[in-house]
């Protein structure tokens, strides 16, 4: 053992550090996502395969090796949003992937804006939370899982009064409708305006704790608001909402969790 350690060079140390850093970064990127469980399962199957090979269990090793191939393909197919974010984090996305991601984001914004405008016109209350850097998995788990592509018709059907999912919030995660009827934390701040209802207080509460963006449609006023870092921007039309979402859905430059909630004057 001491002979092996003595043979270590600085290149070996750098090699180990690079691999350790890469594995740690992968863990951080997939932490709180569905893909992490699949990746851990893949690692366990690989470990079992190596043990079987060392123990001379050739048939078991053959089965596990084939299972690894199928498992790897399933991860690529089922977890494309997480993989796109991982590639984006390392800055190695191709032009094709970048164009596809931009197209998906534009579609998401357009569908959200159209649904918010339609719900506001009908005075149907709604609350939509968009995940950014801080994971919203705990809030997703409190609701009804959907994992559906975002569309105006889907959002409107969720919040219509006859829907069993209209109470609670919709959480958008990885560019998809992750869940509906989710429970969000109410703000504990005492200086919030009394005219704000439960939806607005829940929006403030969530954005106090995370960097999420929350869109609220008032049932009483038919008014669309956007909440970020505890700050409410009220009275948004479709054009203003689209512009704000386009600006805010960039990687955040810092946490807004310590920003004090306040109200932005309603645009005239």
Give yes or no for residue 261 having a pLDDT over 50: no
Residues 153 and 230 in one domain: yes
C-alpha distances (whole Å) from 86 to each of 25, 91, 247, 257 are: 9, 9, 21, 24
Q: Do residues 78 and 110 share a domain?
A: no
Question: 196: which residues sit within 8 A by CB, 6+ positions away?
Answer: 204, 232
pLDDT tens digits, 192-240: 777 788 899 999 999 999 999 999 999 988 899 999 999 999 999 999 9
116 and 63 share one domain:
no
Confidence band of 265 (pLDDT split at 50, 70, 90): very low
47 or 26, which is more confident?
A: 47
Domain end call among 63, 89, 115: 89
Pair 120, 158 in one domain: yes
**What CATH number should be reported for the domain holding residue 160?**
3.40.1700.10
Residue 106 — pLDDT band, cuts 50, 70, 90?
confident
Residues 213, 124, single domain; the answer is yes
pTM of the complete model? 0.59
Please tell me whether residues 149 and 250 are part of one structural domain: yes
- DSSP single-letter state for residue 15: H
Q: What is the pLDDT of residue 253?
A: 46
Cβ–Cβ < 8 Å for 170, 206: no
Looking at 70, 89, 108, which one is the last position of a domain?
A: 89
Which is nearest to 130 in space by CA: 201, 216, 239?
216
pLDDT at residue 99, as a whole number: 53
pLDDT of res. 51: 83
Domain count, the chain: 2
Is the pLDDT at 87 greater than 70, yes or no?
A: no
Q: Which domain holds residue 7?
A: 2-89
Residues 255, 228, 170, 114, Cα dihedral to 10° = -130
Phi and psi torsions of 91, nearest 5°:
70, 30
Q: Is the pLDDT of residue 258 over 50?
A: no
């Amino acid at each position: 053992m001491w002979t092996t350690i003595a043979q270590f060079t600085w290149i070996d140390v750098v090699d180990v550090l690079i691999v350790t850093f890469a594995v740690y970064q992968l863990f951080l990127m997939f932490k709180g996502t569905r893909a992490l469980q699949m990746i851990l399962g893949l690692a366990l199957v690989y470990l079992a395969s190596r043990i079987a090979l060392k123990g001379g269990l050739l048939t078991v090793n053959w089965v596990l090796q084939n299972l690894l191939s199928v498992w790897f393909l399933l991860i690529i197919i089922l977890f494309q949003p997480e993989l796109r974010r991982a590639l984006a984090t390392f800055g190695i996305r191709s032009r094709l992937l970048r164009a596809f991601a931009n197209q998906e984001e534009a579609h998401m914004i357009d569908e959200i804006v159209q649904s918010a405008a339609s719900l506001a016109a009908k005075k149907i209350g709604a609350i939509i939370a968009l995940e950014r850097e801080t994971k919203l998995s705990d809030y997703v788990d409190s609701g009804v899982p959907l994992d559906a592509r975002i569309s105006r018709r889907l959002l409107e059907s969720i919040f219509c009064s006859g829907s069993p999912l209209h109470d609670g919030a919709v959480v958008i995660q990885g560019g998809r409708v992750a869940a509906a009827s989710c429970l969000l934390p109410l703000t504990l701040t005492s200086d919030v305006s009394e005219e704000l209802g439960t939806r607005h207080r829940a929006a403030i509460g969530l954005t106090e704790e995370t960097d999420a963006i929350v869109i609220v449609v008032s049932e009483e006023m038919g008014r669309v608001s956007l909440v970020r870092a505890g700050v409410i921007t009220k009275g948004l039309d479709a054009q203003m909402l689209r512009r704000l979402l386009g600006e805010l859905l960039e990687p955040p430059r810092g946490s807004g969790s310590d920003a004090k909630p306040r109200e932005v004057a309603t645009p005239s």
